[in-house]
Chains A and B, each alone.
Chain A
Amino acid sequence: MPTKQQADDAALSRLLSQAEPPRSPQHVDEAVLRYARENAPDTAGQAASSFWFINRRWIPVLATFSVAALGVSVSLQIFSPNELEQDAVATLSEAEFGLRQESVGLQAQAPADELAVVADENRLARERVDAGVVFNAEPLQDVDQIEVAALSTQDADQNDVAALSTTSAALEEEVQIATAAQPAAAPIAIRDQAVAAPQATAQSNPRRAVANTAVAGRSAFSADLAAIAVAAISEENLPNFLALLGRVLDGAPTVERGAVSGDSTPQALVARMVTLYGELVDEGALAAAEARYVTVTAGFADFELPLTLEAAVNLLRPLAD
């Protein structure tokens, strides 16, 4: 039941609506519409730029990004620390294997003097791997690389970050010492020095002088040396290579001796070869060993070998460490 006030309002509204007002004149309509066409905003979306985030075209992008972010966060949560640790160990093993292969390659591409430098570098690199530092198999040369390698392990296990940093600092110091001890010249220059000044080398290093003497009469190190060394140190040829060195160094097949003593692992044999060679301090013994090596290798046709005993032993040094 409407009140009197409401009835009065309704009556007045009815009266007002019955009064037919004039319609909007045509010339006003034309003027307004013409003005609207002439002043229509030019660029689409210009006025809505401050509300770009509610524009419909952004909705699929935002949805995709949200799903991706959710997926990443869930994936991170389902990885347990143990799994991460296993991944880190696997990565370290791969890096170590890569280091061995790379060190062989590097040694194969360089002459004997250069190989000594590379061997030292690889020894340092190997220590880094043992310390848990992952890197991409190339010998680290400076502090930056060590830091990058340390950073790459942070994802594997955050708990090891502090230890790695400490190790990196120690390695950095060691690299600096090693770098200072080595000649600053490039590898090619080192090789040239070795060929051009054998007398000086003989004065400072009898072992190297013997090796150079054994090489005398042969051509200088050629590019083929790389392929030879790679073939000699390959996993398949390693037992035969060690047996050959055993015959040179102690006159008996090292493989058999090792088998008898129960010490037959390749690494132990390699260490033994390096040790035996290190015991040859006498110039005469060294020359004799080099001569034996030349003799033995002359009749060896299974695969190509390094030209000198010293080069052969240097190839093994990284594996013996």
Chain B
Amino acid sequence: MFKFLDSKVTDESLMLKYQQGDSAAFEKLYGRHKDLLFAFLYRSHVDLQAIEEIAQETWMAVINAAERYRPTAKFKTYLYAIAHRKLVDFWRKHKIEVLVDRADEKGEAIVEKVPGPDKLNASSTDLSMDLLLALETLSKEQQQAFLLREEGFTRREIAVMTGSNEETIKSRIRYATAHLKRLLEVQYAD
């Protein structure tokens, strides 16, 4: 009963309560989003240590801006917009190009690690892992558009979060989807 009522409290209400000094409200809010955000960051960047750092910085940014928070949009949009900016900052700081295939610690292109037809493995777990690896072959812009759409955001929301327009986001998502599908079909083609 209480759990049901608790779930009815919106993210925005919890954030406003925290704005008034209620730390417990923030703990509830954090509990709702921490794993989803971490998963998003993980799908965006495979380096776990970097992801932890970005996740922590994202939440601290939310805390620091709590007094200025206004419920003009969904809290989730607000949170992921901050996370996206942190990711972009991280990529810029580490000079990670947005359109090149990234290499692993041994200098091999990550896309090469995607199993080819000769290493066919049709299990869904492996397919999922392959998809994650395939995401690394996308440009960061395409990758972010695709992943944010998978998080449930609309094209308009993604455009606002990434500072683009809706048409650009639409084409990025279309290109990302086609690319991933082609890559996976190649890998698992009979």
Contact = CB atoms under 8 A, between A and B. Distances in A.
Interface of A: 5, 8-9, 11-13, 15-16, 18-25, 28-29, 31-33, 35-37, 39-48
Given A25-B52, A29-B34, A46 B67 contact: yes
Nearest to A50: B70
Interface in B2-49: 16, 18-23, 26-27, 30, 34-35, 37-39, 42-43, 48
5 contacts: A15-B124, A16-B132, A24-B35, A39-B63, A47-B19
B96 interface: no
Interface residues on B, range: 35 or more
A28 B177 contact: no
A19 B128 contact: yes
Contacts of B132: 16, 19
Given A32-B60, A33-B27, A41-B67, A18 B127 contact: yes
A12 B26 CA distance: 33
Contact of B21 (A9, A11, A25, A44): A44
Given A9-B177, A25-B52, A19 B38 contact: no
Nearest to B135: A16
A24 B63 contact: no
Contacts, number: 105
B27 A40 contact: no
Contacts of B35: 23-24
Given A19-B125, A21-B38, A41-B21, 10 more contacts: A12-B177, A15-B128, A18-B128, A21-B39, A24-B55, A32-B34, A36-B18, A40-B23, A45-B20, A47-B20
In order of increasing CB-CB distance, the 9 nearest A-B pairs are A19-B128, A21-B39, A24-B38, A24-B34, A18-B128, A21-B42, A47-B67, A32-B59, A44-B20
A32 B30 contact: yes
B175 interface: no
Contacts of A18: 124-125, 127-128
B19 A48 contact: yes
Contacts of B129: 19
Nearest to A8: B181
Contacts of B63: 32, 35-36, 39
B131 interface: yes
A32 B127 CA distance: 33
A16 B135 CA distance: 10
Contacts of A9: 177
Interface string B62-102: 01101111000000000000000000000000000000000
B190 interface: no
Contacts of A46: 67
Nearest to B26: A36
A16 B150 contact: yes
